[in-house]
Chain A
Amino acid sequence: MIAKRDKQAIGQRFLQAFREAGAAEVAPDILLPAGTLLDLYGEDIRARAYTSTDPLRGEVMLRPDFTVPVVQMHMAGGAEPARYCYLGEVFRKQDPGEERPAHPRDNEYLQVGFELFAHDPQADAEVFALFHKLMAPYGLRAVTGDMGLVMDAVRALPLSQARCDALLHHVWRPGRFGRLLARFARPVTPRDFAEIAAPWAGMRSEAEMERRMARLKADEDAASLDPVWIARLERMFAISAPMPGALAELSHLADEWPDLAPAVGRVGERARMLSDGGIAPETILFDASHGHRTMEYYDGFTFSFVAEGRAGWPPVATGGRYDALTAVLGRGGRAIPAVGGIIRPGLVAELEVS
């Protein structure tokens, strides 16, 4: 059992490193209004975050992560480029399903993080290089991905705008994404909407229903997606190799799928920037599915540092680009390019004692 004080000391060490990298330290609230988090993450967050109620402020949540308060703080008046760092507790509950776990995960632990808001093509590489340097002593496996590549691949499929939008909306939900894709590959069975005598009820309007029915009607003429595209997507998702090998596979794929070339070019460019910064690309894994199965709103570069042989551990450090989140938080759709990540000092402490 490592004392919290010791974990805190390790967190302070990383915080100091983030300050030296030019970040201003911020201390977001621990109790956050639940509304924003719920709107952003949906019911999943209620299953993971502790909620409480305040007679005046309504439902509040114990901070489940730092991203939202830091983005809000920046949007309220930060100038670009901005670098922020923070250290503090986050709180996560675990709903065990049918059986109680033998070793429950910590429900309160430290995160130390760094966020960069900047219109700068080097930003991804800057953040990754910083985390890479800090994680170097611990022999972790570095895994990267790129949701921008996945999204470009979806946009490049020969699909109607409506079909493409549906796939993009569910790009972080592999099951639903797969169901949609399988449906688009089949001929459309025309829908026969039964006449129903029931009176209209509820807030969804009849016009909304008619719009959807019109969309489904228009979709009846859509050509089935050629299975060759699904095979290409699957080939892309299956790419998981050290950066140079993954890039070679991606270029092969782009040969027969030219629309993918710009996104592949970006992955290559990032690898070059890392290499310029002294990181050997062959030591970094590129996994095309990496962001597909992680948090919603990561929409570009993603990374994690994983302790191999530590079953059940989350990544020791993780992060990525989340412009999509700033667009939702910014209401009027004002997206701010944002990339950042966190380290879990508690896990680093365990690595240091063993």
Chain B
Amino acid sequence: MIRLGVPSKGRLMEQTFDWFAARGITLSRSGSDREYAGRVQGADGVSLVLLSAGEIPRELAAGRIELGVTGTDLVREKLAGWRSDVTEVASMGFGHADLILAVPDCWRDCENLDDFAAIARDFRAAHGFRLRIATKYHRLVRAWLAGHEVADYQLVDSQGATEGTVANQTAEAIADITSSGETLRANNLRILAEEPILRSQATLFVGRGALEEVRPFLAQLGVAV
């Protein structure tokens, strides 16, 4: 049995259902809206598992599902050495979001990462602690900043309402996922003029050990591996 993990709610679930429907596979939730059980029509030996998008990387790596739909951001953040655990087989063309670094819009002297590095140095000297970046993407942000040799900062954990941390003075900058940038603008934040830390989109992943087993199903979906 191939277990297919799909986000259990919201637009991500609906667009995933649409993507499979366009390939002749009907996914549906069985029973009420509140029940996390699902049905697959149009393919044999495939069962649907509805999960939180954030748990799908872990479930794939553990081999508890063979296929999973989730964002590339979540896989890269949550699975250290992700290429050893999962394979990306299809970019699904929705759920686009960029992981970006944003600073208060009022910082007129901060356009790019070089400015940011200089400001972090000044901030640390003036305040006696490192400039704080609020994020939930600790590994990705740390690796990116280390790659650019930015020092003098620290990450502070923010699992939600990250855009509000600057106004609340619990952080000086934020690193978060954005698609339109609207929430950032509403909170007077501005994205640094750099390539995003990561461009993410909904992606179909296969667990490392399951590639042979899922090959016929992928062929039916028209996905080349």
Residues of A within 8 A of B (CB): 38-39, 42-44, 46-47, 95-101, 166, 169-170, 173-176, 179, 183, 191, 193-196, 198-204, 206, 208-209, 211-213, 216, 296
Contact at B151–A170, with CB atoms within 8 Å? yes
Contact at A99–B117, with CB atoms within 8 Å? no
Residues from chain A with Cβ under 8 Å of B108 in the complex: 193-196, 209, 213
Taking the closest CB of chain A, its distance from the CB of B124, in whole angstroms, is 9
Residues of B within 8 A of A (CB): 76, 80-85, 104-109, 114, 117-119, 121-123, 126-127, 129-131, 138-139, 142-143, 145-146, 148-155, 166-167, 169, 171-172, 188, 190
Contact at A42–B82, with CB atoms within 8 Å? no
Taking the closest CB of chain B, its distance from the CB of A227, in whole angstroms, is 21
Q: Assuming A169-B121, A175-B149, is B106 touching A196 (CB within 8 A)?
A: yes
The 18 sampled A-B contact pairs (Cβ below 8 Å) are: A46-B155, A98-B82, A166-B118, A166-B121, A170-B149, A179-B114, A191-B109, A196-B108, A198-B106, A202-B169, A203-B169, A204-B119, A204-B172, A208-B123, A211-B122, A213-B109, A216-B109, A296-B151
Contact at B107–A204, with CB atoms within 8 Å? yes
Kindly state the separation between the CA atoms of A206 and B139 in the bound complex, as whole angstroms: 31
Taking the closest CB of chain B, its distance from the CB of A325, in whole angstroms, is 15
Residues from chain A with Cβ under 8 Å of B118 in the complex: 166, 212
Q: Which of A95, A195, A198 makes the CB contact (< 8 A) with B104?
A: A198
Contact at A42–B154, with CB atoms within 8 Å? yes
Q: Residue of A at shortest CB range from B139? A: A95
Besides A96-B84, A183-B114, A198-B190, 19 more A-B contacts (Cβ < 8 Å) are: A38-B154, A43-B153, A46-B138, A47-B139, A95-B139, A97-B143, A99-B81, A99-B84, A173-B149, A176-B150, A196-B106, A199-B106, A201-B104, A201-B166, A202-B169, A204-B123, A211-B122, A212-B109, A212-B118
Contact at B129–A39, with CB atoms within 8 Å? yes
Q: Assuming A198-B188, A212-B118, is B167 touching A43 (CB within 8 A)?
A: no
Taking the closest CB of chain A, its distance from the CB of B162, in whole angstroms, is 13
Q: Which of A42, A96, A200 makes the CB contact (< 8 A) with B153?
A: A42
Q: Which of A99, A170, A173, A179 makes the CB contact (< 8 A) with B83?
A: A99
Contact at B172–A46, with CB atoms within 8 Å? no
Q: Which of A42, A47, A95 makes the CB contact (< 8 A) with B130?
A: A42
Contact at A201–B188, with CB atoms within 8 Å? yes
Residues from chain A with Cβ under 8 Å of B129 in the complex: 39
Kindly state the separation between the CA atoms of A166 and B99 in the bound complex, as whole angstroms: 29
Q: Residue of A at shortest CB range from B108? A: A193
Q: Which of A100, A176, A198 makes the CB contact (< 8 A) with B80?
A: A100
Residues from chain A with Cβ under 8 Å of B105 in the complex: 196, 198, 201
Taking the closest CB of chain B, its distance from the CB of A331, in whole angstroms, is 9
Q: Assuming A100-B80, A208-B126, A216-B109, is B142 touching A46 (CB within 8 A)?
A: yes
Of listed A95, A99, A175, A201, residue having the most chain B CB within 10 A:
A201
